[in-house]
Amino acid sequence: MTLRVVIADDEDLTRTGLRIIIDSEPGLTVVGEAADGAGALTAARELRPDVVLMDVRMPAVDGVQAVRHLLSPPEPPKIIVITTFGNDDLVYEALRAGVSGFLLRRTRPDELVQAIRTVAAGDRLLFPSAVRTLAALHGDGRTVPGIGRLTEREADVLRLMARGLSNGEIAVELAVGTDVIRTHVSDVLSKLDARERPQAVIAAYESGFVSPR
């Protein structure tokens, strides 16, 4: 299956470079581009991509606002935020809103391609060390009621998710089948009211359930 990608960035050169990298990879294709947040919403609605690469700072509608709108339909695309600085407050807000991860603009082409495939698969945390760093910088010790409703096994799964393990790796760690882990991950996300793995992991860090240090 070919993964359909939309690029949303207000810099023409950036969009062109990303398109060249993505279109050169088998199984990936850029189906649309947008130069601002409003255009990103239109492109995603009309083209129904699998993944959106989203600049976090854009005119008309900023990246975080665009993210919240994009994630509201029943079957939203996966979203990767593109940013210059990994400790940007807007990046953290986008992660809390439900994006699948973020990339720095200096990311190597092979890392970009792997990131798209990773979020499309949805079974691994994208760049766990970076998410951990953001949690340490921005964590506010908030209460997450759903944490207390996790079963012992679900709690184990969440800890391993926070380490960046994939479903298959968690299955090996806990000596169970991958399908069992997939169910546990789904239950963890549901109990924490999280759309994506980063939301659940950030909630775990912010609540103190997992230490970002």
Our CA angle for 105, 124, 134, nearest 5°, is: 50
Q: How many CB atoms lie within 10 A of CB 54?
A: 28
Mean pLDDT of 136-148: 78
The terminus-to-terminus CA distance of the chain in angstroms comes to: 39
Task: Give the per-residue pLDDT at 140.
Answer: 67
- Tell me, yes or no, if the pTM score tops 0.75: yes
Residue 5: pLDDT band (50, 70, 90) is very high
Mean pLDDT of 46-75: 85
Q: Average model confidence (pLDDT) for the chain?
A: 89
Cα–Cα distance for residue pair 80/119, rounded to 1 Å: 8
Residue 67: pLDDT band (50, 70, 90) is confident
Task: Give the per-residue pLDDT at 75.
Answer: 83
Mean pLDDT of 79-85: 87
Cα–Cα distance for residue pair 172/122, rounded to 1 Å: 18
pLDDT of 148-189, one tens digit each? 999 999 999 999 999 989 999 999 999 999 999 999 999 999
Our CA angle for 71, 72, 77, nearest 5°, is: 35
Task: Give the per-residue pLDDT at 189.
Answer: 95
Task: Give the per-residue pLDDT at 171.
Answer: 97
Task: Give the per-residue pLDDT at 87.
Answer: 67
